Amino acid sequence: MKYNLRTLVHRTRWSAVVATGIVLTACGSQSGLNRESQDSLAIQPAAAAPSAPIKVNQIGYSVAARKVAIVPVDDVASAASKFDVVRVTDGVTVFSGDLSAPLFWEFSNETVQQANFSGFREAGSYLVRVAGVGDSYPFEIGDTVLGGVHKGALKSYYLNRSGMPIEAQYAGQHARAAGHPDTAVIVHESAATKARPAGTILSSPKGWYDAGDYGKYIVNSGISTYTLLTAYEHFADFYQTVVLDIPESANQVPDIIDEIKWNLDWMESMQDLDGGVYHKLTLKRFSAMDVQPSDEHGDRYIIGKSVTAALDYAAVMAVASRIMRGFETQFPGLSARYKDNAIRAFQWASDNPTALYQQPDDIKTGEYGDKDASDEFAWAAVELFLLTKDRRYFGEFLKHDVVPSGDLSWPRVAVLAYASLINGAEELLSDQSYAELSGKLIAAADTQVKVFTESAYAVAAEASDFEWGSNSNILNNGFLLLQAYRLTGDTKYRDAAFSTLDYVLGRNATGYSFVTGYGDLTPLNIHHRPSVADATPVPVPGFLAGGPHTGRQDKCPYPGDQPATNYADTVCSYSTNEIAINWNAPLVYLLAAKNDLD
């Protein structure tokens, strides 16, 4: 399909939910609706667009960025040799280049060519065209083009808050009443102690809903909150400029810190008197999909205590303590309290190293089970070492002998230990020790660079990434690669890292920009209860859909059987189209890096 200027002008299918809550509709292409706007909550499509044959980052590229489009090849023998970059406003070809040789991508079972237009550095609105193939979706080139999607991805946490009304002043058409105050939750027998027997009523308010359901889970909050804290720690100057338009925006604290604190307040309430940490807070089973938070009134339970919950909690509290030292005036005593929380949780975990989570028979909500806590021990030990400077914690890290690899996700957190060490421990370690640890991280990143350079889709994605939450796995490869770039300054790591952003924003085999509300073809039917239950025809914006893989745990119909194409934009597809706080976190981190470094 070719999108000429006339087609672009008459694509009347956009609605923008601006920060004031006013709903606007506009005619024209999405690129013409200022997709990089710092003021809009999101650009929301009213109906699914037809897929464009040439795949690009549908939001756009910074002026100096590596820019690659993916062109399908139907017949290798007659594959095209040239491509053009066309200016949207007047249809003029502004750049032409040679296509790569045909390349086969096993994960989509297709042959493609790469169109590299990195040398073109003129700001504006463009598309890529190949004679006989068609056009890409339009995209922007400019130094602030990813600012809007970053704000949307971060603001999604506000829109997923538990325990408060989400007001139209801040959320527009996605406003909703408060739900789940969680001021009277029940201690389940799996979490009972002598001091707090089963049936004890506790208060555990605030926090973020974890995913498509209304549960709150410590393990998944661990990696999510850490990644956002690390985004602030690494790009603090950038976050002084980011205003999300949330209720706390006028309080002289960066909005990302206010948002993180909302979840930290809940996490604190999940620590037991003995220092252990409850695993989760949920109903006994999931509610129906069409129930808003304010309409779900079933009993909610604090369930289980686990070594992994305690260690994830300890790691996050240690990082938060370190960062909150800089906000002692605004939050007096908070840093010290977080430090105490972290130390007590780590001690409980050390005293209960085999206390892995076991799902009770009467509980049917998400398990977040993990049969190996060695990486969590190592990560928590590193964070406490950096916080306290007590070398006993570094010894605990060494004892568990974990190695970073390109498989970062909530049950595999070794990369987080190394990321923190490399960023904060140089002055605490000998030159030899620091070099050895750095070498392990670089080796893991080099593996991902090799994957990136050999990929037909020019992305750091390998077979093991295509599982539940594949988009997050691929972005977490980018997180690892960015740590190598920060350590070495070598742009090969930076290019490979940012390839993962291009992938989730449209340069993938499905053709979707997987962030709701951002791009020309974005998910409309995410597995997310507030989006299903409200009266709005478009989903809550800024959420990253899980992405393709062949697990099909939900038994829903899918369009194909390839790991990189097996995706369905249906509510049924919780295995590919759910959202989750841990999936959004690396998206926020990488977009912050992109905005800061560019």
Alpha-carbon gap, residue 20 to 485, rounded angstroms: 39
Three-point CA angle 585, 590, 594, nearest 5° = 150
For 586, residues 6+ apart whose C-beta sits below 8 A from its C-beta are: 227, 472, 475, 476, 478, 479
3-state SS, residue 324: helix
Q: Which amino acid is at 357?
A: Y
39 is catalytic: no
528 is catalytic: no
Task: Give whole-number Cα distances, 475 to 443, 577, 590, in Å.
Answer: 18, 16, 8
Q: Residue 126's beta-bridge partner residues?
A: 87, 139
- Residue that is written with structure tokens 């956002």 in the block: 228
Tokens of 459: 């992305």
- Centroid of chain to Cα 366: 19
**Annotated active-site residue in 36, 135, 462, 569:** 569
**Pick from 104, 212, 133, 1: which is nearest to 562 by CA?**
104
Q: Give the pairing type, strands 301-305 and 185-187.
A: parallel
The answer to whether the CB of 69 falls within 8 A of the CB of 76 is no
569 is catalytic: yes
**Annotated active-site residue in 188, 234, 527, 549:** 527
- Residue that is written with structure tokens 């409309």 in the block: 524
Tokens of 33: 């609706």
**Annotated active-site residue in 213, 255, 268, 578:** 578
- Residue that is written with structure tokens 């421990």 in the block: 425
Active site residues: 527, 569, 578
